[in-house]
Structure formats: structure tokens, C-alpha cells
Chain A
Amino acid sequence: MTASLRLRAAVVSIVLLAVFLGAWHLATRSTGTAANMSPEYAKLMGMTATQGKSAMPGPLDVGAKLWEHLKRPFYDNGPNDKGLGIQLAFSLGRVMLGYLIAVAIAIPLGFLIGMSPLMSKALDPFIQIMKPISPLAWMPLALYTIKDSSLSAIFVIFICSVWPMLINTAFGVASVRKEWINVARTLEVGNVRRAFTVILPAAAPTILTGMRISIGIAWLVIVAAEMLVGGTGIGYFVWNEWNNLSITNVIIAILLIGVVGMVLDQILARVSRLVTFPE
């Protein structure tokens, strides 16, 4: 009797998680009184010195803190103390704005490049040079020209998410099967209708792949960008908690960044499945 692969995989996952949490707990627990000292001095030194407890929080500390955060995600006690929900919403807002601007520019431009060999060759050197530039390298230039840190972060998201979409759209459009184009030609389908009824559906899976890569990169970059520009957002939260020496909050933020990134990726994977056609 063999259980389904899914079930067995889930069991292995849970075991691995338990082992990890167990090891974590053992590595960070208190090991008893380390030295004899006066209670007042001990109070001053904290548990690290008095009970041999690691400065690294254990899984139980993180769990308790996480529960606290989840109970009140949207509180706002001023610029340096906002709920995690608010911070995440700021980050998501920036990512969405920069990403949507990138979609609005990359897809039409990708169509142009894919359909015109001339434009493809003419724009290729620019794309090849711009693509490998780390998005954060644009930050000083953006801050200088835009003169607004929040807009600069959005610009950085735009510039990092535009390339995969642009390249994938151009590739998808350029590699639409010749015979499908010929079908449209023999049916005297006009250029605009052909673009929407043949080229777009044929290239949609490739375009969606580009969009999925882009959202992943955008979510990676927003954390770094917000650490630089500060003010709000999950990236700023991580940096702020590091300055507060609250490792527990840093760990929680890391966890949430991962979860949100996964959700964003899964949303695009769903959309991608909608436009994929079997041949």
C-alpha cells in the first residue's frame, strides 16, 4: 500500500520543518545560569549573559511575536511604528504601480520589436546594455531627476521589471508560427485584427512567462529599494528593526516577504494557465 506521492511529499515536508524548528529551538534556548552575579547587575546584562541564552530569538519567540503582528496588522503609531499590513501594502502599492507602468510600455514596445526586424535590430544594442544594469544603480539618478524618494522607488521597480517582459514579448511575437500568420493573410484579416486575434493569443504564454519573471524581480528589488529610500514599506521595516536590534521582527519580515512573493508568483501562474493552449 503506497500512499499518493502528494501525501508522502507533504509528510517529508512536515518532518523537515519539524527538524528545522527543533534544531533552531535547541540552538537558541537558555542553558542555565552562566555566572554568579548580583541580581541588579544581571538585570543590566540581560539573559544573554546571565542564562547563556542566545541573542538569536527561538521559534517560540518568533511565533509569539508573529501572532501579535497578525492580530493587529494595521495599527499606526507614527512613522517608525506601523503595522506589518500597512508596510506590506505600501510595498505592494509601489510594486504594482511600477510593474503596471512597465506592462503598459513593455508589451506594446515588445510587439513593435517582434513584428519589425528593423526595430528589433535597431533597439537591440540599447536593450543589451540596459538589461544587465542593477536596478539599484539607477537610484541616485532617479533621486536626482525625480526629486522624490517614493517615486524613485517606483521608477526602480519599473526599470527592473520592464526588461523580461520586453524581451519575452518581442520573442513571443517574432516566433508566432508562420502558418497562423498565413491563415490570417489568406483570410484578408487586417493588421490590427491580426495582432489581436492571432499574434496576441499565440504569444500570450511567452508574454505571461515574462510577466511572471518580472513580478518576481520587482518583489526582490522593492525590499532593497525601500531600505535605501526609507519611510515606509516592508524593506524599510526590515532596516528599521535591524536598527532597533529586533531580530525577531526581522525574521518575521523575511517570512512575510517570502509568502507575499509566492502569492504574487502563483497569481501570475494562474493567469498563465488561462492563456496557455495545448497543441
Chain B
Amino acid sequence: MTDKFISIEGIAKRYDGARSTTIFENLWLGMARGEFVCVIGHSGCGKTTVLNILAGLDVPSEGAVIVDGQAIEGPSLDRAVIFQSHALLPWRTVLGNVAYAISSKWRRWDRAKVKAHALKYIELVGLAGSEHKRPSELSGGMKQRVGIARALSITPKIMLMDEPFSALDALTRGTLQDEVRRICVETGQTVFMITHDVDEAIYLADKIVLMTNGPGAVLAEIVENPLPKDRLRGDLHRHPLYYALRNHIIDFLVSRSKIFTAETPDHDPRKVPVVKIGRTEPTIVASKPVDSDAPQAVAR
């Protein structure tokens, strides 16, 4: 990909202390404009740290991140964050929360203009009619919708989502995933999202980045999503490559994420292999012998 809209260039995060730990180092990743990238990895591998560095909320110990030709220096209105815990200001109404973001971006706008703009985005996420409610009166899913409206309302160049749906029940999560997908496809939004949910990644992402376990985590593979752009949630599992893709990711999470660094000593962090899932790829068979104890236990 020649057009690198976002380029993570050799970033590292270390914590100095009595025993200094390296969460990750020499991390490279490029993202094109309009791309939806999901990062999957186990807890503690530094996914959230990468996202915070992208947001400008955290500073890398080494390296830099370049967005649209400019190195990141602190947080910016160009990069909106959707927080895992929605992070709404509880003393403001739905409208107040969205308007706060809008008036932060366009400081000269008068109240009426801010309100009209906010209402447009509140309607976009399906909360029309609830704009005068306070966050405490909303369900978890509705709160996260407000978070999405707040992020979208400032028309950012990138949306950064840190497990935005992990605290929601399955039904709400599904609906919100549909909404996010619809909005992102419509607006061509560039999205960097962290998730634990394999199906969420398959449904939403164009590329799925697999991260090994920390400390010393690396980006192991970038899996290209073979499913068509106009995929529907209900049809996902009927696609011939769906299970191959799903199994590949789950295999990685279950076993390969632990042993990847040891097994692949010549892994070049600057050229993370791009995996294209094909029908013939024997991904399931390849990693079977790894835990030879488990099948025996089942056999007895």
C-alpha cells in the first residue's frame, strides 16, 4: 500500500522501575485512508497503549506516529477516541456531551449552530428524542451511542476505538456493530479499533492485526479480510472463507500468540507478513500438534 495515511514507525513502550519492562518495541504499521483496522491480542499485550499513543494521550518511549504527513504531538481533534467506558460527562445531557465536543472544535460557532450540528449526529446514532436525558438515565448501549455521536460529530480524520462494545450485552453489541459499520462505510471513516471479539473483527475490519502476548509483544500478522465489502451480519458464516478466517484467528489467539516469537526468530517487525486467507490453506492442521495433551484427555 503506497498511500500510508497513518504510519506507526518503530514505536516502543517501556516502563522504567526496579525491573524495567518492555511492553513492546520496534512496532511498525501502516494504514490507508478509509481503512478499518482491528487489532486482536490477549490482555496485557499493549493494544490499549498503542491506541493511546495514536490518540496522543500516551507518549512512546521510542519512535513516532505519522498521521496525514504529520508526526503526532499530543491529542488532537483530528483523532477522536471512543472509550471503552464511554466516558460521558455525567453532569451534562446527551446533547450537552455532544455539544461540548462540537464547541471545542468550532469555538466561534453560536449555540444554535452547535445544537443543530449535535442533533444531526444524535439522530445519526438513533438517539433522537433522548437528547435531554442525562447519561445515568441511559442504558449501556445508549451511552456508547452518545460516545460514538460525540466522536463522529467533530468529523475526525481517524476514529480510535478501545473495545467500545465489550461492556455491552450481545444483542446491543450486534446492533451497535451494524450502526458503526453503516456509518463508517457511508462516510469512509478511517478506523483503528481494539477488540477481543473475533467475530466483531471479522464483521467490521478490512484488516485484522494479530498481536502476540506481552511483554515484548510484536505484530505477528496482518490478516486481510476476504469477505466482500457489502457483507451482512446474517450471511457472514455462509461465506466459503469465513471459517478458514475465523479458525486462523482463533488458532493464533489460542496457541500461536504464545509461541510466535520463539518460533519465528527471523520475524521482521518492519515487514509484518500479510496473510490472505485462501480456501486451500491448511491453517487448522498446521497448528494441531502444538498441544498434544489436550486431545488425549478428550479421548479418555
Contact = CB atoms under 8 A, between A and B. Distances in A.
Interface of A: 177, 179-180, 182-183, 185-189, 197-198, 201-202, 275, 277-279
Interface string B83-96: 10101011100000
Nearest to A177: B87
Interface stretch (B72-80, B188-196, B235-243, B288-296): B72-80
B104 interface: yes
Given A188-B75, A279-B136, A179 B91 contact: no
A180 to B, nearest CB: 6
A186 B89 contact: no
Contacts of A182: 57, 75, 81, 83, 87
Contacts of B56: 185-186
6 contacts: A183-B89, A186-B75, A187-B154, A277-B90, A278-B90, A279-B135
A198 B96 CA distance: 12
Contact of A186 (B79, B85, B91, B136): B79
B271 to A, nearest CB: 32
A155 B73 CA distance: 48
A189 B136 contact: no
Contact of B100 (A177, A185, A187): A187
B90 A279 contact: yes
A188 B77 contact: yes
Given A186-B56, A187-B154, A277-B134, A179 B75 contact: no
B11 interface: no
Given A180-B87, A187-B105, 15 more contacts: A179-B83, A179-B87, A180-B89, A182-B75, A185-B75, A186-B55, A186-B81, A187-B100, A187-B104, A187-B154, A188-B104, A201-B89, A202-B89, A277-B136, A278-B136
A253 to B, nearest CB: 42
Contacts of B85: 179
A197 B99 CA distance: 12
